[in-house]
Structure 1
Amino acid sequence: MKTILIIEDERAISRVLKVYLEKAKYEVVQAFDGDEAVHLLQTMQPSLVLLDVMLPGRDGWDLLNYIRERSACPVIMLTALGQTQQKLMGLNQGADDYITKPFVAEEVVARVNAVLRRSTPMAVHPQAKVFGHLKVDFKAHLITLHGVELTLTPRDLSLLLFLAQHPNQLFTREQLIECVWGLDYEGSDRAVDLAIKRIRQSLIHWPATQGEIRTMRGLGYQFCVYEPR
């Protein structure tokens, strides 16, 4: 499930967008000022950002620059400013689209769909990835650390393979259950926590300088990998 970050200080507008985007099967996270948005952007990797220009604290232009310095995440600007010059400014600074208020929520959803279609490349998954001393062979369903095969239950193995296929991406418990174990899974979502605990134990000798499975409190889990310096 793709995650949309709405950065909008008008709570009524944010609530309406959240309802329509969730109806379109998106996960939605909300921020109501620039500082809150920066905190979220430091702890998650949204699929797309809906960004209001006029915000308390850091404004939309500042946040757009902040995002562009760190990622190619698609950004759609939301603003009451309808002048052509303002639209060109946003597009020239790296925005992917620009919607002027007042708008129809269905139009925003359609624009989100269109921008994501344009920005999502065809998935080409390698057969194996190496993260320092950790090697993950997706084709053979084999994971080795320092050349020694890890012994994992099928469920834990499938979870680690999925996380390794998506390094540095944040997933909620619900997303992991849906993507890894399937919608017909009937157990508690706490099973994800227990599986992560067992996986971490198996990775105890993986150097912390190379990577880790990080808990984002209240948000989910992230398979973090670090580039060598």
Structure 2
Amino acid sequence: MKSLLLIDDDERHSKLLRDYLQRFDIELDCAYDADEGLKLLQSRDYDLLLLDVMLPGRDGFDICREVRKSDSIPIIMLTARGDVIDRVSGLELGADDYIAKPFEPRELVARIQSILRRATANTGGQQQLVFDGITIDQEARTVRVDGDEVELTSMEYELLVLLASNAGKKISRDEILSNLRGIDAAILTRSVDIMISRLRSKLRDPGKPARFIQTIWGRGYLFVGRVAKNA
């Protein structure tokens, strides 16, 4: 059984959703404010976080920002506001997906299952992608840069694997959106640029130029890591 945490101040809706998710073998803990949610998140290892944007006091964006400082748990943002800016803001802070309220519970289940599959699936192809300075272990789902493990979100990891698996080949924004199915194409290419920017910042040393991922202006992105000689 998968274990999820929902932070949402709508108690009635949260309890209904908890009962619904049980049909799909998903256990849902509910917190109704930021402080309660963060305490639960620290006390238990959850498989995924459902995070409402509109919360009293600290909003969902602030919580997402804090969680991402130390945790790579998959995050789905729930928002009653349909603005593209709100959706992109969540992705910029490290959320893996968003869904607009009101939503069909079955659609949320599909999003949850898609992200959990990505987070736990082992690849049937090459288990390790080894380049000068970076190693991607697809079985363990870990990334090491110069020997140090780098914490990536599920979406960032999938994006890196997509680019590294096609090293030396230009990958367009449309191809990225098509492969990362959790992202709604309605937010267009800006979401890809945001994810690339976050990924680059995690793969480089502070104050140094970006490594591994090159922008092909107007066309897409290119992974430029060199295959390690001893790989």
Structure 2 length normalisation: TM-score? 0.51
Pairwise CA distance, 1:110: 0.9
Alignment of 1:71-86 (within 5 A): 71-86=71-86
Shift of 1:41: 1.2
| Paired position in structure 2 for 1:16 | 16
Asked if structure 2 preserves the Cα contact closer than 8 Å seen for 1:20 and 1:106, the reply is no
Gapped runs of 5+ residues in structure 2?
A: 124-231
CA contact (8 A) 1:5 1:31 kept: yes
Structure 1 distance, partners of 2:34, 2:48, is: 16
Distance 1:74 1:97 in 2: 9
Q: Distance in 2 between matches of 1:14 and 1:99?
A: 15
Cα deviation 1:17-62 (Å, max 9, x = unaligned) = 1112111001111100011011111111210001001112322111
In the alignment of these two chains, the number of paired residues is 123
- CA drift of 1:67 comes to 1.3
Question: Highest Rg: 1 or 2?
Answer: 1
Offset of residue 122 of structure 1: 2.7
Partner residue in 2 for 1:56: 56
In structure 2, the partner of 1:113 is: 113
8 Å contact from structure 1 (residues 6, 28) kept in 2: yes
d(CA) in 2 for partners of 1:120 and 1:94? Answer: 19
What runs of 5+ residues in structure 1 fail to find an aligned partner?
A: 124-229
Q: Any idea what the Cα deviations from partners look like across 1:76-107, whole Å, max 9, x if unmatched?
A: 00010100111111111111110001111111
Shift in CA distance, 69/121, structure 1 to aligned 2, threshold 3 Å: farther
Aligned-partner Cα distance in 2 for 1:114–1:121: 10
Quote the offset at 1:121 in angstroms. 4.1
Task: Say which SS state the counterpart of residue 113 (structure 1) adopts.
Answer: helix
Quick one: distance in 1 between partners of 2:71 and 2:121?
15
Structure 1 vs Structure 2: percent identity of aligned residues? 46
Aligned twin of 2:38: 38
- Which residue in the other structure is 1:166 paired with? none
1:125-164 alignment runs, 5 A limit: none
Contact 1:5–1:49 (Cα < 8 Å) also in 2: yes
CA RMSD, Structure 1 to Structure 2 (Å): 1.4
3-state SS in 2 of match to 1:28: strand
Say which SS state the counterpart of residue 95 (structure 1) adopts.
coil
Q: Is the 8 A contact 1:20 1:109 kept in 2?
A: no
Q: TM-score, normalised by structure 1?
A: 0.52
User: Hey, which bits of structure 1, 4+ residues long, moved more than 2 A?
Assistant: none
- SS of the aligned residue for 2:9 comes to coil
- Partner of 1:30: helix, strand, or coil? strand
Matched residue SS, 1:46: coil
CA distance in 2, matches of 1:105, 1:119: 21
Rounded Cα–Cα distance in structure 1 between residues aligned with 2:91 and 2:18: 24
**SS state of the match for residue 57, structure 2?**
coil
How many Å separate the matches in 1 of 2:81 and 2:22?
Answer: 27
